[in-house]
Structure 1
Amino acid sequence: MSAWMSALRPSQPAASDDLDPVSLPETVARARAVLGDEPTAWAIQRSKQICDTYEASARADPTITVDGLDRVACEAALLTVLVNLRTGRADAPAPPEGFESVRRAVRQGARIETILRVVWFSHTTVQMALLEVLSREVPAERLADELRAVSEGLFEFVDGLVRELATAYDQERAAWHGRLAALRRQTMEHIVEHGTAREGSEQLLGIRLRGDHLAAVIRSVDPAPPTGWDGSVTRYVAAVSATIEAVNSLVLDQPDGSTVIWSLSAAPRDPVSAVTDRVPHPPGSIVAFGPVGRDVAGLQSSLLGARQAALVGGQHQSEGAWTYDDVGLQAVLLADPEAAGRYVRHVLKGLTDGDAKSAMLRETLWAYLRHGRSRLAAAEELHIAPNTVAYRVRQADERLERPALDDPTPMVVALSLARDFPALLG
């Protein structure tokens, strides 16, 4: 059936690069051994023309993408199908260049639909070219049989190729996403540990490292997240992006939750407050924000701050949003819970009992000191009279072994920890 193949010759004059093969040497060598030099040169030239035509179509039609286009794979496939037609082997394996093309396409984010569109475009173009040669070279009495044989051979090859490439794509995508996630986590940990970024980090993470960043840690309160929790986190990340006008965002899944990084076009005024005030946190979740930071060193600071704020949120064991600006000092102390408890009990010695009156005195003293010793401000917060504030502060001071008002900073820290984490009182 293949005598007509001797009529396959490259068009003249041909540019030198039109006839330079790009597929594997063994693929080209096998084609020359089976087909001859002229048909092999025709296939090499034709594959370049197919790619040029497809690229031209993509420039004219924005719905067409060239992400899945690969001249190496196109050339190897055309050489292989011609060899199959010559030898009559319908079960010959797909060329290895096709699988390498799939691997590259997955890393570039090309969709399988795009890759298969290129395959079918190439198939249609080659089929039309071969049918033209057949119509010219094959006698009329044999033409119908040759046309049918070539059409069936082409379809069988392409059908098998599509199935193999689709399977390879799914396998490679699953493997690559696993590797990509691991590489991204390693890249982020390098930034956290060293405050620097390795070469290629921006491309790997998919975010720019210059400019302002905001990091957050999102965890489920329950070890077994509620149904739909992943979807609610995705919607939350999108809502935050819209609120702070983020350029892009990155979500990194961790064993105990997710780390999110937003890249900002320009740092808005107090973006963390804008988020906590306007975007409800996902139900059943702990959301902890670091401070906004600039460039790689600032991203490191934001990531560390988010982790420390998450430490405080986790101690509460209830859903809510925490910010590093609000709980950063608590986070430092809670990094060593035993030392934090010892510090609280030392500073508040005499006022650590678990009864209601002791708790009331601690709450009043905390409000009084936090408002700069203003009885009026503390009274407004606690909804009591200013004289009652003064009376309770005096009672608390009498109970404490160390004066409450001489050095208020340690007292505010200890009262704040005791208020949020009563277990530290012993």
Structure 2
Amino acid sequence: MTDTTDRQRAVAWLRSITGDLSTTVLKRMEQTLPWFADMPPGRRSAVALVAQSGIASFVSWFEDPTSAPWTAKDVFDSAPRELLRSVSLQQTLQLIRVVVDVFEERTQTAPSEIREGVLRYSRDIAFAAADVYARAAEQRGLWDARLEALVVDSILTGENDTELPSRIAALGWSGHGEVSVLVGTTPKVVEIDQLRRTARHNRADLLVGVQGNRLVLVIGRAKPSAEAEDELIPFLEIAQALEPGFGPGRLVLGPEVASVVEASRSARAALVGFSVASAYRRLERPVLADDLLPERALAGDPLARQTLVQRIYTPLSDHQSDLLNTLWCYLDNGRSLEATARELFVHPNTVRYRLKRITEIIGWDATGARESLVLQAALILGRIADGANTEPRRQVRSPRRRN
């Protein structure tokens, strides 16, 4: 009977100082928490409401300790949901510390049961706060994952969505420079966090999309400052660092584009390259989509055909000299200098000089087996695109007269 009476007196005393405690807590927060004083009035009112709810909830818990798990959770339910976006978990714990400090100061002469109750309840409140923020972070993570999947799908399909830049910004995209798309096989377990850490280590950002057996990474990097141009890491080097995060097999890196809004062009090249990569016997990992131009063109990729014509056929056809015809003859004669020279009625050194000029203009060396395939495909596609009715100029020796 005496214990019950003492508890009732303690509860009555706690209720009598509740208002004074709330006022003291608010003053202490203004004095010790700079972020609280800088808040707009509406946010400050919401934070004060949480503190007052915590004080009132402690009195209710002290009166009935069995209600602890539920009462502690309800403290944070009294605040608006948007408060979680403006007050971090660290700031919430600082708020709890202020409330506990004020309680301890006012209960120094109170019975030990009250002082122990303050410590136990502050622990419950701290765990409740961590639970609230953890659930909010989990919901935010699920929303970000759905939004990221939507953005990657829009890039792959090439949809001209005016909301794409804002959606990418909402994901915290830090890339503000060039972009390239990397496509490979999906591993058994996709370590997205590890992929992002690797990208950050290489001063890049990622958008991750898992589409069945394909893992798609949109890689973006920030433009370096004028003083840090040497810190620019090539996309191929970034792709090589990300390679362990993919499953075995094909891994194709699309061409570099100017911004993430143009990433669909890199994605199209990477996807087609991924589908035809097995046709390239000396496949590297990763391989550039532009190294698969002949295979992509044969598969009907219009971007590959356009690239071959623009990079090879057009520069040579616009050139004043006889470079295009020399290349035709050289490839038709099995890359034989002597046979080409005989057909063109020139010295083999002249053919060598012209081939060197061709390499300087287009960047491909016609003397290599792989490069000759690329050049042959470009010449055929260029001739088709021109719609020319005349064949490439072919000079034939006139027969010698017999005496």
Q: 1:233 to 1:96 in 2, by over 3 A?
A: same
> Which position in structure 1 is the counterpart of 2:26?
48
Distance in 2, Cα, partners of 1:189 & 1:176:
20
1:163 paired to 2:140: no
- Residue 239 (structure 1) shift: 4.9
How far apart in 1 are the matches of 2:300 and 2:26? 62
The 5 Å alignment of 1:23-422 reads: 35=15, 39-56=17-34, 70-85=47-62, 87-92=63-68, 93=70, 94-98=72-76, 110=88, 114=90, 117-118=93-94, 121-132=97-108, 135=109, 143=110, 146=111, 148-187=112-151, 189=153, 192-197=158-163, 201=167, 203-207=169-173, 211-220=176-185, 223-225=186-188, 233-234=195-196, 236-241=198-203, 249-255=205-211, 256-265=214-223, 274-276=234-236, 280-281=240-241, 282-283=243-244, 284=248, 286-293=251-258, 298-317=259-278, 320-323=285-288, 334=299, 372=324, 374=326, 385-387=336-338, 408-410=379-381
Q: Which amino acid aligns with 1:201?
A: R
Q: Deviations over 1:2-26 (max 9, x none)?
A: 6577778xxxxxxxxxxxxxxxxxx
Q: Percent identity?
A: 13
Q: What is the identity, as a one-letter code, of the residue corresponding to 1:275?
A: F
The 3-state SS of whatever aligns with 1:219 is: strand
- Aligned AA for 1:301? E
Contact 1:127/1:154 (<8 A) preserved: yes
Seen in structure 2, the aligned counterparts of structure 1 residues 332 and 208 have a Cα distance that, compared at 3 Å, is: farther
Aligned partners of 2:96 and 2:260: how far apart in 1? Answer: 45
Which letter maps to 1:127?
F
For the aligned residue pairs, the C-alpha RMSD in angstroms reads 5.2
Q: Is 1:286–1:314's contact at 8 Å kept on the other side of the alignment?
A: no
Structure 2 residue matching 1:292: 3-state secondary structure: coil
1:264 and 1:307 map into 2 onto residues whose CA distance is 23
Q: Say if 1:332 and 1:116 are closer, same or farther in 2 by CA, change over 3 A.
A: farther
Following the alignment from structure 1 to structure 2, what is the Cα–Cα distance between the partners of residues 301 and 203?
Answer: 15
**4+ long deviations beyond 6 Å:** 4-8, 100-103, 376-379, 389-392, 411-414
1:167: Cα distance to partner? 3.8
The CA deviation at 1:149 is 1.2
Residues in 2 aligned to 1:304 and 1:101: alpha-carbon distance in whole angstroms: 47
d(CA) in 2 for partners of 1:55, 1:109: 12
Per-residue Cα deviation, 1:318-366 (whole angstroms, up to 9, x for no partner): 55345566667965774679xx9xx9xxxxxxxxxxxxxxxxxxxxxxx
1:280 aligns to what SS in structure 2? helix
Deviations along 1:245-277, whole A, 9 cap, x unmatched? Answer: x5xx233242331323424235999x9993326
| Structure 1 residue runs without a partner (length 5+) | 9-34, 60-68, 136-142, 344-367, 393-403, 415-426
Within 2, Cα distance between the matches of 1:391 and 1:373?
A: 14
Alpha-carbon spacing, 1:179–1:231, altered in 2? closer, same or farther (3 Å): closer
- Measured after TM superposition, the shift of residue 206 of structure 1 is 0.6
Structure 1 residue 43, shift from structure 2 partner: 4.1
In structure 2, the CA distance between the partners of 1:202 and 1:275, relative to structure 1 (3 Å rule), is closer
Conservation of the 8 A alpha-carbon contact between 1:216 and 1:288 = yes
Q: 1:90 to 1:180 in 2, by over 3 A?
A: same
Residues 328-337 or 43-52, more deviating: 328-337
Aligned-partner SS, 1:250:
strand
Following superposition, the deviation at residue 200 of structure 1 comes to 5.3
Post-superposition Cα deviations, 1:262-318, rounded to whole Å, max 9, x if no partner, equal: 24235999x99933268635144614234322xxxx423223422432321342145
Structure-2 separation of matches of 1:264 and 1:48? 44
**Partners of 1:280 and 1:82 in 2: how far apart?**
60
Does the aligned pair in 2 maintain the 1:214–1:263 contact within 8 Å? yes
Is the contact between residue 286 and residue 310 of structure 1 (CA under 8 Å) also seen in structure 2?
Answer: no
The letter of the residue matching 1:386 is L
How far did 1:169 drift? 3.9
TM-score (normalised: structure 2): 0.56
Q: How many residues are paired up?
A: 305
Change in Cα spacing, 1:258 to 1:101, as seen in structure 2 (3 Å) is: farther
How far apart in 2 are the matches of 1:299 and 1:179? 21
TM superposition shift of 1:95: 4.3
